[in-house]
Amino acid sequence: MTIIPAQPYATNSRAEYRVFDKLKTAFVNDDKYLAFHSLNLTKHRYKRFGEADFVILCEYGLFVFEVKGGGVCCENDIWQTVDRNRQMHKIQNPFKQAEGALHAINEEIKDTHFFDALKISVGYGVIFPDIEFSLKSSEWDFSTICDSQKFKNFEGFLQKFFEYWHTKKSNKDKLTVENIKAIGQYLRPNFEVIESLYNQLNKFEEASCQLTQEQYKYLDIAAANKRILCSGGAGTGKTFLAVELSKRLAKENKKVMVVCKSKWLRQYLRTKIVNEFVTVATIKSAKITMKRAGIRRYEVLIIDEGQDLFNFDDIACLNSLVKGELKQGEWYIFHDINNQSGLFDAVNKEAFELLKSYPHSNIPLTVNCRNTGPIIKKITSLLAVDIGGSELKNGPQVREYNDKLKNGERLNLVIAELLNESIPPSSITILSPLCYEESSVSWASENHRIIKLDEFSIQSFPVKNISFAEIKNFKGLENEVIVVIDLPKIITQTNEALYYVAMSRAKGLLCVIF
């Protein structure tokens, strides 16, 4: 018969090993017999925790065996075993022990209500493989005892044992193979419980936060220099450093202006920086904002997503914002000129060279503290770019969908799949190169509540529901799960930056629907 586990559990009882071997060779290739070694009992009547030496499920019912090796003796109902050295060891009454274990298992099965329709025969027995046991008593029946003589023909003993208990009470069912498998699966289930996607993302979020804290060392480097060009790929912590640097400088009572191109990023930064000494503005609104604040020039200028401002007009504007202008003033520019330029304005190389001609220090960021290993690997292989190495080596694999379903239909299925994996709607952002009305998300929104982000709702990001944004507006932002839609599968120079920005927004899981 089949016995689980296939090898016996470690035990000090040589007798149990012998019984185990006998069971393996009994009823060979008969799927109506299933045995368990050392089955735990959580609902024992008399013990906080119990254990049955052997449990057998077969067509005749459910049966429990207690095994006692060596010699045995009983005096005044005190049972003891006798080892080879004639040493005595107190034990429980093996018949009561087997009966108690049987009741515990039977009650467990009844409590599940899975098998209410079955009338299962149950029984118990004791195996003494080392001695002849011929004592008569009203407390046991010889049909339930296997001694050394019966042990020689163990299969024959079992057959008579099963029939004894099955015929003891009438109207008992014989179990089918399916019954045996179902009860066996309940008693000692085969299972695989994998970590939920939601829990995986939570772990990576914690690890990402710890990794981001390491970026603070760059603040010390920046503070030691008056002008900084800080470069790094998506996810290397540029926006984080811009925010923290503005707070540190504000503590020195310096008037700081943080400038970016995107209205969305401006609103997002305002929620991260709440300080009377720090002003956040877009390049277009910077002069008006400065005038309204009654400030002639700011003492410090911090620029996020600097690659969007590398042109002569914007550099001229920046000159007018900071004391000493860019040539002599204090400024810190965070940029990714190699990968994220061109979504708003193309980089003017001559303007960038002019900026680099001013005395400054360079700080390269090389550690990606946002994206997991699979996301970085996908971006690197697809776009042949370097976005920094990550210490978040593992993570969910990137999910790609490329089939004949329309994007709206596929998006519905992907969203349903994510929600079924317990991902909170607020952790999911859908990105498209198209506006909401032209994107396939407009079809999916019929089945799911999807919030169209704008420069005002981004102040409360992440919002409570699934969110949608155009890729260019989501620069500098991030979410746990990003679903990229409406991009062609063929990557060209015109859409490469869109791919890069969209895919690198994902912190934990990236889904791409081609």
CA 227 – CA 64 distance, rounded (Å): 80
Handedness of CA 283, 502, 371, 461 (dihedral sign): positive
Residue in 431, 427, 411, 442 with CA at minimum distance from that of residue 473: 431
Say how far apart CA 288 and CA 276 lie, in whole Å. 17
Instruction: Report how far residue 499's alpha carbon sits from residue 378's, in angstroms, rounded to the nearest whole number.
Output: 11
CA gap 236, 365 in Å, rounded: 6
Helix (H) or strand (E) holding 260: strand 256-260
Write down the pLDDT at residue 250. 93
Element (H, E) at 302: strand 300-303
Contact yes or no for 65/127 (Cβ under 8 A): yes
User: CA-CA distance, 392 to 244, in Å (whole number)?
Assistant: 23
User: DSSP for 432-493?
Assistant: ESS-TTTSTHHHHTTTS-EEE--TTGGGGPSPSSEEEEEGGGGTT--EEEEEE-S--SS--T
Tokens of 186: 């309940």
Residues 6+ apart with CB under 8 A from 174: 59, 60, 166
**pLDDT of res. 402:** 81
Q: CB burial class (10 A; 0-12, 13-18, 19+) of residue 135?
A: exposed
Task: Report whether the peptide linkage leading into residue 425 is cis, meaning its omega lies within 30 degrees of zero.
Answer: no
The residue count of the chain comes to: 514
Compute φ and ψ for 246, nearest 5 degrees.
-65, -40
Tokens (6 digits) for 7: 């090898």
For 507, the token pair is 């912190």
With 0.85 as the threshold, say if the pTM is over it: no
- pLDDT of res. 48: 46
- Phi/psi for 58 (5° steps) reads -150, -175
Residues 359-377 as b/e (b if ≥16 CB within 10 A, e otherwise) read ebeebebebbbbbbbbbbb
Note down pLDDT in tens along the chain; length 514 residues.
Answer: 899 998 888 888 899 999 999 999 999 889 899 999 998 876 555 544 578 999 999 999 999 999 999 999 998 889 999 887 788 889 989 999 999 999 888 887 776 656 666 788 899 999 999 999 988 888 899 999 999 999 999 999 999 999 999 888 766 778 899 989 988 988 888 765 556 677 777 766 665 655 556 677 778 887 788 999 999 888 888 998 999 899 999 999 999 999 999 999 999 999 999 899 999 999 999 999 999 999 999 999 999 999 999 999 999 999 999 999 999 999 999 999 876 665 666 789 999 999 999 999 999 988 888 888 899 999 988 888 877 776 666 788 999 998 777 768 889 999 999 999 889 999 999 999 999 999 989 887 667 889 999 988 998 999 999 999 999 999 889 999 999 999 988 888 888 889 999 999 999 899 999 8
Per the CB < 8 A criterion, the answer to whether 477 and 305 are in contact is no
pLDDT at 337: 82
323 neighbors 291 (Cβ within 8 angstroms): no
Whether the Cβ atoms of residue 133 and residue 95 lie closer than 8 Å to each other? no
